[in-house]
Chains A and B, each alone.
Chain A
């Protein structure tokens, strides 16, 4: 039985402008000790998925409208509040993006780490303190004993993220959710933190879900990767397979936009043109269609299912008509994403469409012009 099963999860936010479908039918599972990467642009529903797993969606305006989240045989969405609190920090722990703001500035490090120990493992003060020292040593904080009563501002960014990892590990959780754990850190520290996370997760056999917008971060970290777009999973594969043999044009776009050390230096970085769709009024067809250079008419009409790809590993699935052996589809099955970048006419169309979006276009033009010019234009 898998540790975590998410079935058809829908998380929505009710706003004045309409219902934002932040997560719209996400299904995946995770076995004990397995590591999974959730990858996608900002606003594609990665963090909301993670928060939904712990039922931390602010209510209102948020709401988990539909779905099942079965953790360790129990549906998290059907639990009462006390039971959910018993899971948070105890069985599922979370590491947040910005260690500068996710530690309470007025509490000492030891009190913050002890909190989970006292709450979930019912330790008393001195036991918790002892355990805190061990945890701090585990995450590589030098002279941990002396630093117990320091406040967060006395720690550097990387050290604070180590403290956050110590907090997450404190109760030996079965699952750790790491939401962009290195985004706020210096590049030099990022690798250390990622190594630490991976090694500790391996050592404790903790499953973790690593959420990031950076495919480079998940490359060496996770066994499987799920690529998300507009609140749904658009490609699922194990990590090596995804990098060697990506199938969905959105994944290609992500791969083209990150530099690689094992490629020729002259390789150009190609951004994905266009903007992520408005989650209030989604297009009826494939959600990536408006930005896709490989699109055909069928993409606009109906949304494809997440289905396995013919010439790939069996558990490799993609949500794309181009890779599915159905009538009218399948034109991308043999496409080499590195050579064929799709139709240039479509690319021009997409660029023009973006220029016509009123808010965004106006912003870019005014930002490029000196203030005096924009003022005259305004008059």
Chain B
């Protein structure tokens, strides 16, 4: 429940970023840079280096951290939802087709997923991003489109396997035979009879897929091959702040906290959904 509240808040912040953010996230506000948050003033900051106009301080080149965090939420949310939607569509389709038709269709599709599954996820992501970054695709929306595609390509296999497993057991059920005996075409059986029955574990997988996609974005941005600067993302902020970490921890700690809290919220949400959907968990 707490997870859901945080997620709704973060989503609102992302949606209303232009209204909430006090300044433009990409303009340099002051020449000095590295202002500490005003809130930390009595304990940490030297009054010379804080400025009440920037409640969370400024980063190493003098951009308002609060504004960057707010705009960064937008990227994080996009990266959380768009690739997972792609994963859902690709994975569910492939899994459904493989499970329903079986035979050589299943063999081919599942061997392809096995190959992708065998790659280490992060390495695969890095390879895709690094090689395609300087193409036209990599330029769309400051690299976001490529990021979506990369995360989806790496992660759809888990979804495909999950859905295939569900379909394999569901298609032997009698109501599927009854549907076939009513003359329902295969595509309609898949869409109307199999899919809704397979949905419960898929929803849980989606809830867990969102934070892992966000983490993927943060990781890629942190190692410098994610979304192009100056687009503010939480991972990129950590990357940039890292260079001045010994002088001022704020540019790293604040976005790291944001990532941590949102990730934790999604994990809570996923756990809650799993418990709600899985009847065996209710007994315990």
Interface residues in chain A, defined as those with a beta carbon under 8 Å from any beta carbon in chain B: 54, 56, 60, 85-90, 93-94, 96-98, 101-107, 115-116, 119-120, 164, 167
Residues in B whose Cβ lies below 8 Å from that of A105: 175, 197
Residues in B whose Cβ lies below 8 Å from that of A116: 182-183
Neighbour of A120 across the interface among B175, B183, B196, CB < 8 A: B183
B192 is an interface residue with CB less than 8 A from chain A: yes
B184 is an interface residue with CB less than 8 A from chain A: yes
Do B183 and A102 have beta carbons less than 8 Å apart? no
Chain B positions 189 through 215: 1 when the CB is less than 8 Å from some CB of chain A, otherwise 0: 000110011000000000000000000
B181 is an interface residue with CB less than 8 A from chain A: yes
Neighbour of A107 across the interface among B103, B177, B181, B192, CB < 8 A: B192
**Bound: A85/B188 CA distance, A:** 12
Chain B positions 166 through 192: 1 when the CB is less than 8 Å from some CB of chain A, otherwise 0: 000000011101111111110000001
- Chain A nearest Cβ from B255, distance in angstroms: 42
Residues in A whose Cβ lies below 8 Å from that of B197: 104-106
Residues in B whose Cβ lies below 8 Å from that of A167: 178, 182
**Bound: A101/B178 CA distance, A:** 9
Do B181 and A54 have beta carbons less than 8 Å apart? yes
- Main secondary structure on chain B at its contact with chain A? helix
Do A119 and B182 have beta carbons less than 8 Å apart? yes
Do A96 and B177 have beta carbons less than 8 Å apart? yes
Do A103 and B178 have beta carbons less than 8 Å apart? yes
Neighbour of A89 across the interface among B173, B183, B193, CB < 8 A: B183
Known: A106-B197, A107-B196. A88 touches B183 (CB 8 A): yes
Residue of B nearest to A113 (CB): B182
B: number of interface residues (CB 8 Å): 17
Chain B positions 126 through 147: 1 when the CB is less than 8 Å from some CB of chain A, otherwise 0: 0000000000000000000000
Chain B positions 148 through 177: 1 when the CB is less than 8 Å from some CB of chain A, otherwise 0: 000000000000000000000000011101
Do A107 and B183 have beta carbons less than 8 Å apart? no
Known: A105-B197, A107-B193, A119-B184. A56 touches B177 (CB 8 A): yes
Neighbour of A119 across the interface among B175, B177, B181, B183, CB < 8 A: B183
Q: Can you list 18 residue pairs at the A/B interface with Cβ under 8 Å?
A: A56-B181, A60-B103, A85-B184, A88-B181, A90-B183, A96-B174, A96-B177, A102-B175, A102-B177, A102-B178, A103-B178, A105-B175, A105-B197, A106-B197, A115-B179, A115-B184, A115-B192, A120-B183
Residue of B nearest to A101 (CB): B174
Neighbour of B181 across the interface among A60, A89, A106, A120, CB < 8 A: A89
Residues in A whose Cβ lies below 8 Å from that of B177: 56, 96, 102
- Chain B nearest Cβ from A16, distance in angstroms: 17
Residue of B nearest to A100 (CB): B174
**Bound: A85/B192 CA distance, A:** 17
Do A86 and B183 have beta carbons less than 8 Å apart? yes
Residues in B whose Cβ lies below 8 Å from that of A93: 181-182
Residues in A whose Cβ lies below 8 Å from that of B192: 107, 115
- Chain A nearest Cβ from B110, distance in angstroms: 18
Do B193 and A56 have beta carbons less than 8 Å apart? no
Do B182 and A89 have beta carbons less than 8 Å apart? yes
**Bound: A322/B182 CA distance, A:** 43
- Chain B nearest Cβ from A52, distance in angstroms: 12
Closest 10 CB pairs of A and B: A89-B182, A88-B183, A89-B183, A94-B181, A101-B174, A102-B174, A106-B196, A104-B175, A102-B178, A85-B183
- Chain B nearest Cβ from A53, distance in angstroms: 10
Residue of A nearest to B197 (CB): A106
Residues in A whose Cβ lies below 8 Å from that of B183: 85-90, 116, 119-120
- Chain B nearest Cβ from A176, distance in angstroms: 11
